[in-house]
Amino acid sequence: MTIPQNLRYTKEHEWISVDGDVATVGITAFAAEALGDVVFVELPEAGSEVSAGTPCGEIESTKSVSEIYAPVDGEVTEVNQAVIDTPESVNSDPYEQGWLFKVRVESMPELMDAAAYTALTQEG
């Protein structure tokens, strides 16, 4: 299971990549594997405000559905239309093509680094 070193992570198994004041959000390979084949993704609308720790979307596999949580406070600047059209990219490429949405960060809680997230995934 790949856990890129350069990303930050939440306990909801999302990854965050920060570039300036914009955070790109996705779900981890660990979460994608647990969900199974992703068949539907519902994302917050561009321009909407999200707040850290609250649900802002849904991700659905044939077997189960989970909420997507906003990892930071801020305004959604962009959603990944490609992942809505081809949700399987969440499974095949969770850290690149499978990104979900971008947020202009107003405030960011403390997030895990790769080592802390690796430990979380190994707790079972």
Partner 1 sequence: MKTPLHDVHSGLGASFTDFAGWDMPVRYSSELAEHRAVREASGLFDLSHMGEIELAGPQAADALDYALSGKLSAVAVGRARYTMMCNERGGVVDDLVVYRLADDRYLVVANAGNAAEVSAELVRRAEGFDTTVTDRSSETALIAVQGPTSAAIVGAVSDADLSALKYYASVPTTVGGREVLLARTGYTGEDGFELFVAADDAEAVWRVLTEAGEGHGLVPCGLACRDTLRLEAGMPLYGNELSADGSPFAANLGRVVRFDKEGDFVGRAALEDRPEPETVLVGLTGGGRRAPRHGYRVLQGDDEVGEITSGALSPTLGHPIAMAYVPVRCSEPGTTLSADIRGRLEPVEVVALPFYQRR
Positions touching partner 1 (CB under 8 A) are 33, 36-37, 39-40, 42, 58, 60-63, 65, 88, 91
Residue number, 36 or 109, with CB nearest to partner 1: 36
Q: Residue 88 CB, nearest distance to partner 1 (Å)?
A: 8
Sheet holding 14-19, edge to edge: 8-9, 14-19, 22-27, 101-107, 73-79, 49-50
Residues 16, 17, 21, 22, CA torsion sign = negative
Residue number, 37 or 49, with CB nearest to partner 1: 37
Q: Residue 36 CB, nearest distance to partner 1 (Å)?
A: 5
Q: Is 94 helix (H, G, I), strand (E, B) or coil?
A: coil
